[in-house]
Structure 1
Amino acid sequence: MTLRIQGYTLKKLAAAGGMMALIGVSSVLFAESASAHGYVENGRAALCKSGANTDCGAVVYEPQSLEAPKGFPAAGPADGKIASAGGIFPKLDEQSSTRWSKVSMNSGTNTFTWRLSAAHATASWKYYITKDGWNPNAALTRDSFNLTPFCSVPYGGKQPPFTYSDTCNVPAKTGYHVILAVWEIADTANAFYNVIDVNFGSGTGGTTIAAPANLASPSQTQTSVSLTWSAVTGAASYEIYRNGTQVGTASSASYTDTGLAAGTTYTYTVVAAGSTGKSSPSGALAVKTAGSTSTTYPAWNASTAYLGGSKVSYNGVNYEARWWTQGEIPSAASSVWKVIP
């Protein structure tokens, strides 16, 4: 199953030396010493971002920021605050059998994918799952989980890619369970904690149907947006969501959304549907219709290194970099880019 930094301030450097020293040092600091953030695809926080989960609070803007001390279960978030990484986003700690959208999963081989804001030295990736007989209507505590990870991947201090995946053997389960995914950073005292709400069927071998990938918008008019994505094996149709609300269906891997306002930014996700059920949502895509009188900035380029404050245009939407980045595609789900007029 595919479950899909802030940098240094430069004020002290500027006070200590001249502008040439500042420029020389800043590129190193932003490129090598930025603190990374990331989230697992289809986790509770990611589904808040996509709109599949509702009433989530501010985590819809920061799914990548669920950071707490590493060392779970001996350390890490307190009991009752595991889903929110210690209470950062308390809405995530609300727990019941019906509170959260669930991802369909079968026991056996499954793939967990992380989306990272920036590469960062990594100690390990670990995955825990709730016990048989756990109480889904009580707050998540250490006693809710089997405290031996069912999957543990040492990473030896290496820097992972922006999109990183682990393929793990998930133990046999039935019904609703919660998986705790932990990304342990090598050169800080912290880790990132994400919970994934899953619903197990019978059998083995991954998800019932994969989430659509490569969602893009090849063209826009003042009143319409065209969308394309990669076809999904086993999908009979696709559901298209705009700003979290379904606006249409498609029988193939493309759709044109009409009746829109000029110069307006919309966020889209796509869900695949087939005889075995529905997928989780695709990654979110922000698209702006034509006709805006706002400034259009240079087109984003994957090979260009951008410092904080850099402005680009991508899919008709203007973005500003929060800190140093290279290769991170501007999107509604990105933490390094923010949408600007």
Structure 2
Amino acid sequence: MNIKSMKSAVAATAGLLIAAPLFLAAPAAAHGWVTDPPSRQDNCAKGATSFDCGSIKYEPQSVEAPKGSLQCSGGSGFDILDDESRPWPTKQVGSSVNIQWKLTAAHNTSTWEYFVDGQLHQVYEQNGRPASDISHTLTNLPAGKHTILARWNVADTPMAFYNCIDVQVGPGGGDNGGGDDGNPGGGDDNTGVPAYDPAAVYLGGDRVTHNGRLWEAKWWTQGAAPGTTGEWGQWADLGPLN
């Protein structure tokens, strides 16, 4: 091997040694969003808004940005989520409400923070990897119409995931969001669960009633009626209606 070939081989080996640690250090993907009460990106994904949300409707799980923001988008580039002039659907809830998440890639988490109209309301410690269907209960919410910002702080990266949820606490104006009649449990008594609509798009975690039973979508589905797809199909049978 001549001198020129030896120099080329050494340079290539050095490049591999430098690149390998960088590859191994890359953090695992982590994505998720709030499905109930529906977050703004969830409403966009379901086509529940009266306006076009743009690209966020295809990736509600991807509102990721550096920690510390109080914007609905977190500064991620999905600016539509920050637009307060839009008629965002609002869900009627009680003074206590269950916040249901859908995680497509759970990651080590430090905390979950919940802000009401920009003011920190409650914090949940995680310090580990959460379940894919994790939920938290917010209590003592003030009456009236509010925007709840849910901020999921990843433990071992500088990033967080952001969701804004528009709610009406108590009577007085829940609209377009399929209210749960102020039920503090977020509709778990089945009274606020909509009937199955074959034309609707459902995401994992969405619940419907059909033929006297309660069903939950396991993943994205449209046009496949609950009870027709078998045990391994798109719908989980949660039992008869209350």
TM-score of the aligned structures, taking structure 1 as reference length: 0.48
The answer as to whether partners of 1:83 and 1:194 remain within 8 angstroms in 2 is yes
Of the three residues 53, 74, 78, the one matched with 1:89 is 78
SS at match of 2:195: strand
The answer as to whether partners of 2:64 and 2:74 remain within 8 angstroms in 1 is yes
Matches within 5 A, 1:1-341: 16=16, 33-41=27-35, 42-53=38-49, 54-70=51-67, 72=68, 76=69, 82-96=71-85, 99-108=87-96, 110-130=97-117, 145-146=118-119, 149-156=120-127, 158-174=128-144, 176-202=145-171, 206=184, 209-210=187-188, 233-234=190-191, 238-240=195-197, 242-243=199-200, 252-253=212-213, 285-287=220-222
SS at match of 1:240: coil
- Kindly state the Cα deviation for residue 234 of structure 1 after the two structures are TM-superposed: 2.9
1:44 maps to a residue whose letter is R
Over 3 Å counting, the alpha-carbon distance change for 1:196 and 1:47 in structure 2 is: same
Query: What is the distance in 2 between the residues matched to 1:102 and 1:235?
Result: 14
- Kindly state the Cα deviation for residue 116 of structure 1 after the two structures are TM-superposed: 0.9
SS at match of 1:187: coil
Query: What is the distance in 1 between the residues matched to 2:210 and 2:129?
Result: 39
The structure in which a higher percent of residues are helix is 2
1:34 maps to a residue whose letter is A
User: Following superposition, which runs of at least 4 residues in structure 1 exceed 6 angstroms of deviation?
Assistant: 281-284
- Kindly state the Cα deviation for residue 236 of structure 1 after the two structures are TM-superposed: 9.0
Q: Which has the higher contact order (CA 8 A, sep 6+)?
A: 2
The answer as to whether partners of 1:104 and 1:207 remain within 8 angstroms in 2 is no
Over 3 Å counting, the alpha-carbon distance change for 1:51 and 1:33 in structure 2 is: same
C-alpha RMSD of the superposition: 3.8
TM-score of the aligned structures, taking structure 2 as reference length: 0.66
Over 3 Å counting, the alpha-carbon distance change for 1:239 and 1:39 in structure 2 is: same
- Kindly state the Cα deviation for residue 253 of structure 1 after the two structures are TM-superposed: 3.7
Over 3 Å counting, the alpha-carbon distance change for 1:65 and 1:235 in structure 2 is: closer
Write out per-residue CA displacement over residues 190-219 of structure 1, whole angstroms, 9 at most, x where no aligned residue. Answer: 111100011122597515634xxxxxxxxx
Query: What is the distance in 2 between the residues matched to 1:47 and 1:197?
Result: 10
Instruction: Specify every segment of 5 or more residues in structure 1 that has no aligned partner in the other structure, as ranges.
Output: 1-11, 23-28, 131-144, 211-231, 255-269, 271-280, 290-301, 303-313, 316-328, 330-341
The answer as to whether partners of 2:63 and 2:76 remain within 8 angstroms in 1 is no
The answer as to whether partners of 1:50 and 1:283 remain within 8 angstroms in 2 is no
- Kindly state the Cα deviation for residue 252 of structure 1 after the two structures are TM-superposed: 3.0
2:111 maps to a residue whose letter is S
Over 3 Å counting, the alpha-carbon distance change for 1:93 and 1:114 in structure 2 is: same
Query: What is the distance in 2 between the residues matched to 1:46 and 1:67?
Result: 15
Over 3 Å counting, the alpha-carbon distance change for 1:236 and 1:164 in structure 2 is: closer
The answer as to whether partners of 2:92 and 2:182 remain within 8 angstroms in 1 is no
SS at match of 2:33: strand
1:38 maps to a residue whose letter is G
Query: What is the distance in 1 between the residues matched to 2:159 and 2:76?
Result: 15
Query: What is the distance in 2 between the residues matched to 1:235 and 1:173?
Result: 20
- Kindly state the Cα deviation for residue 85 of structure 1 after the two structures are TM-superposed: 2.0
Query: What is the distance in 2 between the residues matched to 1:34 and 1:63?
Result: 18
- Kindly state the Cα deviation for residue 63 of structure 1 after the two structures are TM-superposed: 0.7
Instruction: Specify every segment of 5 or more residues in structure 2 that has no aligned partner in the other structure, as ranges.
Output: 1-11, 172-180, 202-208, 225-231, 237-242
The answer as to whether partners of 2:102 and 2:134 remain within 8 angstroms in 1 is yes
SS at match of 2:61: helix
Of all paired residues, the percent bearing the same amino acid is 30
Show the counterpart of 1:266: none
